[in-house]
């Protein structure tokens, strides 16, 4: 059996996407060598979905890890589902392909499985990921999201990505793409912050109605070592309700938080650089939460975001509301 078919969802373009993926965004203090080791460990454990992005600046290390596991016979290229993303400084249509080419070159791959618009914010092109003026204000660019999407479609037509999708888009932005005249390919997924404290129920309902998979990042809360994370939020994995359900099932709170997303029909991304936790987090396919468990976890929603919005001076702010 094709390993990709195990515990996968079928996207609206026919391709398969594994329901559990390894996230690779890391705090700046984490050596990039740890990302490479984490990817190799994850592939050994059974992960076949690896999520990264141009802006994470770790695709050379991820590429080395993937090729080492191909070389030792653990996987073939077609077993791996790899995601990258185009950052806002590359939103001009003529730069969308440039960003993807750069990622492919760093990875040593001829194609990615999924190419996402990273966020709905066009930024001034250049070397800085978040360009700012002398007053410290973010410098935006005037690019129509639909023009960026046209360029994404061309990347798919060129065979450089199997599928295309979005990240951090609310319903308003998704509708802008879906209603675009001459739309050739719908987004196959929308990757957003999602966990029991931010269950994204309205956005999930909308995405399901449009045959768009919702993918959860920060599914375990977040790593408070990251510089941009809201440090004032409660720690999800210490929540008493989550821990009580975990104790009942003989599981870790992280396993329950991940299982919650899978049973809602989401794809979940989970990140760790610890070998034991990478293994533990993958053990989510051999137990079921009860309807009562799911209701209790759904009731934890507080609309808490661990990732604050840096672009409050953009004319289209706020970006990440459900509606």
List residues forming the annotated binding site for substrate. 118
The residues near 307 (Cβ < 8 Å, ≥ 6 apart) are 193, 218, 222, 228, 229, 230
Angle at 124 between CA 122 and CA 130, to 5 degrees: 85
CA gap 236, 221 in Å, rounded: 5
Rg (CA), the chain: 19
Q: Say if residues 166 and 117 touch (Cβ distance below 8 Å).
A: yes
Neighbours of 286 (CB within 10 A): 7
Residue 78's closest CA among 86, 68, 66? 66
Of the residues 47, 56, 115, 306, only one is catalytic, namely 56
Q: How many CA atoms lie within 13 A of 137 on its CB side?
A: 7
| DSSP string over 27-73 | -TTS-HHHHHHHHHHHHHHT--EEE--GGG--HHHHHHHHHHHHHTT
Cis check: omega of the bond before 318, within 30 degrees of 0: yes
The residues near 31 (Cβ < 8 Å, ≥ 6 apart) are none
CA gap 81, 198 in Å, rounded: 26
Determine whether 197 is an active site residue: no
CA gap 255, 147 in Å, rounded: 40
| β-pairing verdict for 8-10 and 16-18 | antiparallel
The catalytic residues are: 56
């Amino acid at each position: 059996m094709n390993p990709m078919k195990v515990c996968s969802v079928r996207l609206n373009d026919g391709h398969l996407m594994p329901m559990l993926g390894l996230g690779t965004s890391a705090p700046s203090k984490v050596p990039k060598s740890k990302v490479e080791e984490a990817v190799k460990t994850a592939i050994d454990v059974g992960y076949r979905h690896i999520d990264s992005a141009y802006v994470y600046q770790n695709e050379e290390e991820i590429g080395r890890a993937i090729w080492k596991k191909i070389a030792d016979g653990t996987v073939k290229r077609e077993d791996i589902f790899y995601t990258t993303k185009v950052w806002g400084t590359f939103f001009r249509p003529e730069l969308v392909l440039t960003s993807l080419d750069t990622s492919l070159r760093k990875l040593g791959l001829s194609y990615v499985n999924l190419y996402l618009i990273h966020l709905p914010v066009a930024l001034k092109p250049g070397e800085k990921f978040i360009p700012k003026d002398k007053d410290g204000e973010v410098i935006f660019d005037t690019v129509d999201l639909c023009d960026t999407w046209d360029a994404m479609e061309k990347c798919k037509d060129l065979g450089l990505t199997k599928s295309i999708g979005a990240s951090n888009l609310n319903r308003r932005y998704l509708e802008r793409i879906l209603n675009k005249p001459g739309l050739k390919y719908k987004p196959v997924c929308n990757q957003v912050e999602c966990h029991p404290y931010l269950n994204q129920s309205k956005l999930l309902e909308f995405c399901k109605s449009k045959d768009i998979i919702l993918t959860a990042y920060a599914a375990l809360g977040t790593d408070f070592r990251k510089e941009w994370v809201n440090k004032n939020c409660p720690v999800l994995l210490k929540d008493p309700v989550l821990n009580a359900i975990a104790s009942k099932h003989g599981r870790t709170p992280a396993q329950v938080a991940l299982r919650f997303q899978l049973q809602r029909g989401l794809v979940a991304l989970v990140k760790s650089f610890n070998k034991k936790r990478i293994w533990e987090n993958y053990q989510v396919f051999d137990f079921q939460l009860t309807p009562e468990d799911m209701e209790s976890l759904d009731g934890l929603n507080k609309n808490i975001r661990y990732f604050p919005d840096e672009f409050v001076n953009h004319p289209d702010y706020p970006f990440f509301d459900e509606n």
